[in-house]
Every structure is written in structure tokens, then in C-alpha cells.
């Protein structure tokens, strides 16, 4: 079967069924942001993420320093999504012939910068040549006292996000159109104050942990887009969701830029991805600085628009093999 038919998530689902011999110490295996392994009284978290040239990044748009920073940031985000603390990082790289040792040095400066910020130590890795494009694969270990999975959402819970969404997707669009598009050149001269934060959010996302997780019932980080990642919570928790378009937090920079481009900023928030904000569910009346955007219901997935109209949402966002 063509991979474009089943997509990344269809393939992972198939692999998950195939890899079903799971020993009892694996408390959470395939299907969450990180695996949870019980070792005595401790719970160890392990997550792994790749970044591939031409798929995840374009060296024309990023410095190696920024790339290194983002590479560890996306792994840290998965540990935060489980309510954990990141600790040890393993870095495997495939390097094409035309790269220099200075490029890799710069990459590591970016990795070490964020590693220092979050108390992560580099504990190993692997180094190979690559025929085409830079390949990065990172494995991050962490720990947590209270694990939060994707599967604990309850009917009646509120749905929350920890920060504004869509900035990264707009940042990427601006980067892609930077060289050629006259409109974006105009935009650039008009209000670079709005553009730079959006581009920075895309190139160097800052993962932020949720401080108080005691009442949180489920959590995921928004890496592929709000609708896809909320769908993962619905799938794993066997529940439905209703979200309100006008409650989705949008930054001033995104609103401003979208207005100039005559486009809907919420579209970037719903489908964009790479926000690395946390999406969680908890009793609706909890005290939190996060934004409440909807409720968990028994079944169905709905979005209420600004006129109060209810529409079914599909899990649109980034999925490997499905994009041209
Ligand atoms: P995230 O976006 O949080 O990094 P993914 O969508 O990449 O999560 O992965 C979802 C789940 O599927 C995770 O538990 C991950 O470990 C697992 N997974 C992804 N690819 C594979 C694979 N090739 N083999 C086994 N498990 C996989
Ligand atoms: Mg994740």
C-alpha cells in the first residue's frame, strides 16, 4: 500500500499493532509523547525525534545554531507534555560531504545553549556520513513523579492551551516567501516589529513546562497542529471535543500580520503546527494562566465559529507522507 494512503499516523497505528509484546515495566509505550518505563520506584521517560534537511528545515532559512536549539527544544517539549523533567540527550547525526566541522560546531552551540537553560546533559550519540542532506535524530531521557498521558481526558473537562498558537506557522510562511514575494517585502518594510517574533517562534521555539499539573487529566504538546493534536487526545481518551474559534489565543503579531495579508489568523492556529505549546484537559474551573478553548464531550469533534455555528472538524495539520 502507498504510504500516502495511510499517512504517518496510519503507519504508526499498524506498527503499534505489530509491536504488541510489551513487558509490564513499560507503563506507556507507542502512542504518547514519550515512553514511560518503571525502574524500581522511579519512572523514566524516553522520547525520540528526528529532523531531516528538506523535510523539517531548509539551511537557507536557518542558521545551524538555531537548528541545534530547535532540535533539542522539540524533544524537551515531548518530555514536558508528559509532565516530566528532561535530563539526558543522545544525538545521532548523518552529515553530508559538503558540510564543515564549523557547521557542526555551530549546531552543537545551539544544542548546548538550550541544554544549559533546561539542565540537560549530552550523554552520547552516533556520527555517520549522509548521501544527501543533514539528518538529526535525538533521544531525550527524563523523569517524572506524576505522569500525564494523552489518555486521561474525561467528559466535562475543560480543554486548555498554554500559549497563543499559529505564530510558528506564520513565521514559516514568511520565511518561505521572503525572497520572492513582493507582498511580503512590502509587509517587511511595513511592520518588521510583528514579523521578527513570528519568525523567531518558528526557528527557535521555547518549550515551557506547565507548573501545576496536579489536576491535569491529559496532555500533549502541539507539534503537528491544534486539531491533529487534540484528535490524538480524543483517540487515546476515547472522548469527543468542542472548541470555540473565538477562544483560541492569537498573538498581537499574528493578528496584525494576518490582517495585512487578508487571511484568517485562526487558520494558522488550528492547522499550523510547531507551536510547542501544551494542550491539556482538566476540570473546567481550575485556577490556571492557560487559555480555556473548549470542553471534552462524549463523542464527536466540533468547532463553534464566531457566529455560534457548529461544524465538525477533521484532524488537519502536518502529517508525513500526506503532504506533496
Ligand atoms: P510526537 O509528535 O509527540 O513526537 P509522534 O507522532 O512522532 O509523536 O509519535 C507518536 C507515537 O508513535 C510515539 O509513542 C512514538 O514513540 C511512536 N512511534 C513513531 N514512529 C514509530 C516507529 N517507527 N516505530 C515505533 N513507534 C513509533
Ligand atoms: Mg509530542
Residue 313 CA to residue 267 CA, distance in Å, equals 12
What was the pLDDT predicted at 39? Answer: 93
CA dist 18 and 9 (Å) reads 14
Tell me the CATH number of domain 158-312, given options 3.40.50.720, 3.40.190.10, 3.90.650.10, 3.30.460.10.
3.90.650.10
The reported pLDDT for the residue numbered 79 is 98
The reply to whether ligand 1 has any atom less than 6 angstroms from the CB of 75 is no
Residue 167 Cβ inside 6 Å of ligand 1? The answer reads no
Sketch the domain layout of the chain as residue ranges.
32-143, 158-312
- Determine the pLDDT at residue 322: 83
What's the 313 CA to ligand 2 centre distance in angstroms?
21
Tell me: domain 32-143, CATH 3.40.50.720, correct?
Answer: no
What is the spatial distance between Cα 40 and Cα 14, in angstroms, rounded to a whole number?
31
The C-alpha atoms of residue 85 and residue 83 are separated, in whole angstroms, by 7
Q: Among 17, 30, 34, 278, which residue has the most ligand 1 atoms within 8 Å of its CB, making it the best to mutate?
A: 30
For atom 22 of ligand 1, the residue with the nearest CA is 12
321: which 3 cell numbers?
507522507
pLDDT 10s digit of each residue in the chain, 324 long?
899 999 999 999 999 999 988 999 999 999 999 999 999 989 999 999 999 999 999 999 999 999 999 999 999 999 999 999 999 999 999 999 999 999 999 999 999 999 999 999 999 999 999 999 999 999 999 999 999 999 999 999 999 999 999 999 999 999 888 645 555 566 666 667 778 899 999 999 999 999 999 999 999 999 999 999 999 999 999 999 999 999 999 999 999 999 988 999 999 999 999 999 999 999 999 999 999 999 999 999 999 999 999 999 988 778 888 864
pLDDT at 83: 97
For every residue of 190-212, DSSP letters joined together read H-HHHHHHHHHHHHS------S-
Q: Which pLDDT score, from 0 to 100, does residue 65 have?
A: 97
**Helices H / strands E in the chain, number of each:** 9, 13
Strands across the sheet containing 158-161: 218-221, 278-282, 158-161, 291-297, 240-244, 301-304, 310-312
Fold match flag (32-143 vs 158-312): no
CA 13 – CA 30 distance, rounded (Å): 9
Amino acid at each position: 500500500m502507498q504510504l500516502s494512503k495511510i499517512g504517518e499516523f496510519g503507519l504508526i497505528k499498524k506498527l503499534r499493532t505489530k509491536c504488541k509484546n510489551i513487558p509490564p515495566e513499560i507503563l506507556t509505550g507507542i502512542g504518547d509523547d514519550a515512553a514511560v518505563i518503571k525502574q524500581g520506584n522511579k519512572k523514566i521517560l524516553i522520547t525520540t525525534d528526528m529532523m531531516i534537511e528538506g523535510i523539517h528545515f531548509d539551511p537557507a532559512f536557518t542558521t545551524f545554531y538555531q537548528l541545534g536549539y530547535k532540535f533539542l527544544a522539540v524533544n524537551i517539549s515531548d518530555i514536558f507534555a508528559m509532565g516530566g523533567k528532561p535530563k539526558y540527550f543522545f544525538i545521532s547525526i548523518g552529515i553530508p560531504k559538503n558540510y564543515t566541522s564549523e557547521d557542526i560546531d555551530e549546531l552543537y552551540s545551539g544544542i548546548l545553549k538550550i541544554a544549559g537553560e533546561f539542565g540537560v546533559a549530552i550523554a552520547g550519540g552516533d556520527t555517520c556520513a549522509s548521501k544527501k542532506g543533514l539528518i538529526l535524530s535525538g533521544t531525550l531521557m527524563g523523569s517524572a513523579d506524576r505522569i500525564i498521558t494523552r489518555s486521561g481526558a474525561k467528559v466535562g473537562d475543560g480543554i486548555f492551551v498554554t500559549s497563543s498558537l499559529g505564530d510558528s506557522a506564520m513565521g514559516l510562511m514568511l520565511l518561505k516567501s521572503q525572497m520572492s514575494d513582493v507582498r511580503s517585502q512590502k509587509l517587511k518594510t511595513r511592520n518588521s516589529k510583528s514579523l521578527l517574533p513570528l519568525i523567531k517562534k518558528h526557528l527557535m521555539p521555547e518549550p515551557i513546562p506547565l507548573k501545576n499539573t496536579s489536576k491535569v487529566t491529559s496532555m500533549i504538546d502541539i507539534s503537528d497542529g491544534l486539531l491533529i493534536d487534540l484528535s490524538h487526545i480524543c483517540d487515546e481518551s476515547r472522548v469527543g471535543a468542542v472548541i470555540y474559534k473565538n477562544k483560541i489565543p492569537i498573538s498581537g503579531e499574528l493578528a496584525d500580520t494576518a490582517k495585512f495579508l487578508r487571511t484568517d489568523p485562526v487558520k494558522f492556529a488550528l492547522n499550523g503546527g510547531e507551536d510547542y505549546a501544551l494542550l491539556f484537559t482538566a476540570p473546567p474551573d481550575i485556577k490556571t494562566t492557560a487559555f480555556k478553548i473548549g470542553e471534552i464531550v462524549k463523542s464527536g469533534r466540533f468547532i463553534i465559529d464566531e457566529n455560534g455555528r457548529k461544524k465538525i472538524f477533521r484532524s488537519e495539520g502536518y502529517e508525513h507522507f500526506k503532504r506533496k
